[in-house]
Structure formats: structure tokens, C-alpha cells
């Protein structure tokens, strides 16, 4: 009689980085400069950006957005320069959904 081996395709859980990143006191949103970085690859993010922009504005924050350009070729250097300038002007930057 043949034997049967049952395989478990369940992946191991990913390693979790316990570091939450830099802190930001949400109570200080009034008058804060908040930047939202986005690109044109995930159009559904437009709805999320709109919601976040409204919520931050209601808390008194000044919200600006920046659309990332090309990340390859000759335009990549310009995109990186623009990103650095954009980020330097903000107190808080949201970049996609953590990607």
C-alpha cells in the first residue's frame, strides 16, 4: 500500500521590526507642514490621499503634495533632487502606504 505525505504550505510569519520609526506628536498637527508623496502607478491611492489631506487640514495642518517622477534614466536625478527639496520643507511626510 502506498503512503501519502501531506505537506504544509503555510509560510513562516515574517520578522517584525519592533521599531515604530520616528515619533510625531499628533497633537502638534495645528500649523504643521505635512507632505504627501505619491506617484501615478497606483491610482486607488488618490482616494486615500484625498481623505488624508482633508483630515490633516481639519486639524490645522498645511498640506502639500508631490508627485514622484521617473526613477530611472536621466530624469532620476531630477526626481531625487525634487524629493529632497520637498521632504526638507515638511515636518511630516507620508509616502504611499509605507512602500
- Residue 99: pLDDT band (50, 70, 90) is very low
The predicted structure's pLDDT at residue 56: 93
* pLDDT one-digit tens code per residue, 28-77: 888 899 999 998 887 788 888 999 999 999 999 999 999 998 888 889 99
Q: Is 71 within 8 Å of 40 (Cβ atoms)?
A: no
Predicted confidence (pLDDT) at residue 98 exceeds the cutoff of 60: no
Q: In what order do the strands lie in the sheet with 62-67?
A: 62-67, 33-38, 92-95
Q: DSSP state, 40?
A: S
pLDDT at 81 over 60: yes
Amino acid at each position: 500500500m502506498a503512503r501519502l505525505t501531506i505537506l504544509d504550505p503555510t509560510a513562516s510569519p515574517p520578522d517584525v521590526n519592533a521599531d515604530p520609526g520616528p515619533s510625531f506628536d499628533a497633537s502638534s498637527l495645528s500649523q504643521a507642514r505635512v507632505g504627501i508623496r505619491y506617484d501615478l502607478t497606483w491610482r486607488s491611492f488618490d482616494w486615500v490621499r484625498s481623505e488624508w489631506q482633508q483630515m490633516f487640514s481639519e486639524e490645522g495642518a498645511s498640506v502639500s503634495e508631490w508627485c514622484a517622477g521617473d526613477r530611472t534614466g536621466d530624469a532620476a536625478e531630477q526626481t531625487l533632487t525634487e524629493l529632497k527639496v520637498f521632504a526638507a520643507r515638511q515636518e511630516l511626510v507620508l509616502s504611499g502606504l509605507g512602500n
